[in-house]
Structure 1
Amino acid sequence: MKKRLLVVFMCISTFVFAQDIHRFEDAKGNSHLCGEFPLKTLEKDEAFQEWFVKNYDNFPKTEKQKWAKKLKDVQVDIYLGTWCGDSKRWVPRFVKIWDDLGLKREQLNFIALYNSSVEGKYKQGPNGEEKGKKIHRVPTFIFKKDNQEIARIVETPNNTLETDLKQIAFECPSEPNYRAATYILDAFQGKTVEQIKMEFNKHYSTVYYKTKNRRELNTLGYVFLEAGKVQEALIVLKINTYMFQHDPNVYDSYAEALAIAGETEKAIDNYRKVLLLDRSNENAQEKLQELYKK
């Protein structure tokens, strides 16, 4: 009788635990995580186990280092997408080096975000876990001490994982990747949209020297759009059209945001610019027909 009760209890516990982990399906029917979850989900769940174990096992072993002790009181919030190639590559590697350095897994917190297949939720969590954290790329590793951020790694290490961790341990972290996006996010946290617009040229000049390619601000623009921050998206995508004037994609993204904002004439103008640079662009052609009808 006791054995039977024990089995029933274990089944109920497993069911309850599984129910606490949020999931969603992408357009292809693949299962993904969203929200907070325990690390063992990546290690044990068939949907994620293959890529996690492979990238964990294939990452070279790191010898224990004395400086690692400086990280023993540091918590790391890891925002990732189980649909994201960079997350699949770098999260297992990060866990491997963390284990090799003798640090505790209890210091790591995992938060999965939606992809673009969930409308209005791109790079967001089911309970707004990402809000106020300036997440625009995944994975993002946020290092905290006494609940205060002390460093972050955005998408990929700036140097090597070991070097970046060593710099964080000695309180001299590298500046994270995507400096332009980080600058804009910081600007929006300290000022209103109207203030940013009034200082547009100043921000454009600063961003110009920090941006590596058009994808950086393009992605940030869509993160704003999905979060319902249309005016912020318009500013970011407009800056992108100034910097990459010969790329049809920047005008396409800006036109999409303008159409969402109800600025139909400006949207039409920008879709026309797309076709001037790429006459065969079917998306721009379709969108123009829709806008003309309005």
Structure 2
Amino acid sequence: MRIILLIGTLSFFSLTESFGQNEENQYLTSKGDLHLLGTISRSQLNEEPFSKWYNTVYESYSIDEERVEKVNEYYDEGVSVKIYLGTWCGDSKREVTRFLKIVDHSIMNMSNVELIGLDNRSGKMKQGPNREEDGLNIHRVPTFLFYKNGEEVGRIVEGPVSSLETDIAQIFAGLSPRPDYYLANYLLTQFGEESLDAVDTLITKNASYLKHYSKNEGELNTLGYVLMDAGKYDQAILAFRLNTLLYPESGNTFDSLGEAYLRVGDSALATTNYLKSLQLDAANENATKVLLAMLADKESR
């Protein structure tokens, strides 16, 4: 047992020595998985434990040479790319690695590509150690932001609309494709441009129309939790409430809205939404557990 513990201890110190002692830029999960935060160098992805998936994806990906020629044709040296990713995220592992291979087979300049690792721990969802994502409407990873002369000219969210090579070429050509999760991006834009009351009116009046732009109920559900972890509770509540309007048959949407109201201390609306969740899904153990805890707390006062 002591030998096993010693080996585990040595392994831990080996990992921390490989990536430095700054905990702000890395963390270990309860399962012992190491993840990176903030600015990531490409060389780090070539080291354990990341090299296992990085090298596998890199070697297996077949470049579309014809589309890469289009990337080269429209590429401008003034273009830079910021990639927000999670080393814990399967989509990030796949798409970021593929993007880097495309860089290697094109005239794109790697010095103009920045990798930023985001967190996935409770209370820090999709956040960088210095809030590098703040104000950029990052709600899914990976998110590729393309800039020209300091202005965003396109983005790829989670995955390409067509293929990475095609989407990159279109962005360079000024024909940026509409990224996935359009509704979440639209709602975030409204939060930045309109008052909460105006957004509230917008979603109430246009829910049936907005449904056409919703990928699935997970789109706004994820956005709501990202907003809550960022402390933007009023925005989170509106995102969750819109989700209940789009998916009124889903117990999960009401469960999430109940949690948001609970976090801001509105026990009445929290109870209403948890009860609605149970009405739609009697097997929702979380709603039952929370309601019983709220009842016990009330009786103890």
TM-score (norm 1): 0.89
Cα separation, partners in 2 of 1:41 and 1:16, compared to 1, 3 Å? closer
Deviation at 1:27, TM superposition (A): 3.0
Deviations 1:81-125 (A, max 9, x none): 00011001111011111211132211110000000x2x3211000
Counterpart code for 2:166:
T
**Selected match of 2:249 from 236, 246, 260:** 246
Name the SS of the counterpart of 2:153 in structure 1.
strand
Deviation at 1:233, TM superposition (A): 0.5
Contact 1:77-1:111 at 8 Å conserved across structures: yes
Cα separation, partners in 2 of 1:182 and 1:103, compared to 1, 3 Å? same
CA distance in 2, matches of 1:18, 1:104: 27
Contact 1:62-1:100 at 8 Å conserved across structures: no
**Selected match of 2:72 from 58, 65, 68:** 68
Matched ranges for 1:1-294 at <5 A: 18-19=20-21, 22-43=25-46, 45-63=47-65, 64-65=68-69, 67-71=71-75, 72-115=77-120, 117=121, 119-202=122-205, 204-292=207-295, 293-294=297-298
Contact 1:62-1:101 at 8 Å conserved across structures: no
CA distance in 2, matches of 1:206, 1:147: 34
CA RMSD of aligned residues (A): 1.8
Name the SS of the counterpart of 1:131 in structure 2.
coil
Counterpart code for 1:140:
T
Percent identity reads: 40
Deviation at 1:19, TM superposition (A): 4.8
Counterpart code for 2:152:
E
Contact 1:94-1:161 at 8 Å conserved across structures: yes
Cα separation, partners in 2 of 1:16 and 1:162, compared to 1, 3 Å? closer
Cα separation, partners in 2 of 1:258 and 1:59, compared to 1, 3 Å? same
Deviation at 1:199, TM superposition (A): 3.5
TM-score (norm 2): 0.87
Deviation at 1:16, TM superposition (A): 11
Counterpart code for 1:95:
L
Counterpart code for 2:178:
E
CA distance in 2, matches of 1:94, 1:148: 21
Runs of 5+ consecutive residues of structure 2 not aligned to the other structure = 1-16
CA distance in 2, matches of 1:27, 1:67: 42
Counterpart code for 2:134:
K
Contact 2:251-2:277 at 8 Å conserved across structures: yes
In the TM superposition, structure 1's runs of 4+ consecutive aligned residues that sit over 4 Å from their partners are: none
Counterpart code for 2:223:
L
Deviation at 1:201, TM superposition (A): 2.3
Name the SS of the counterpart of 1:259 in structure 2.
helix
Cα separation, partners in 2 of 1:157 and 1:101, compared to 1, 3 Å? same
Deviation at 1:69, TM superposition (A): 4.6
CA distance in 1, matches of 2:255, 2:204: 22
Contact 2:237-2:261 at 8 Å conserved across structures: yes
Cα separation, partners in 2 of 1:151 and 1:247, compared to 1, 3 Å? same
Contact 2:39-2:116 at 8 Å conserved across structures: yes
CA distance in 2, matches of 1:114, 1:38: 17
Contact 2:71-2:106 at 8 Å conserved across structures: no
CA distance in 2, matches of 1:166, 1:154: 16
Name the SS of the counterpart of 2:213 in structure 1.
coil
CA distance in 2, matches of 1:17, 1:248: 43
Deviation at 1:269, TM superposition (A): 1.4
Cα separation, partners in 2 of 1:67 and 1:28, compared to 1, 3 Å? closer
Give the total of aligned pairs.
277
Contact 1:68-1:169 at 8 Å conserved across structures: no
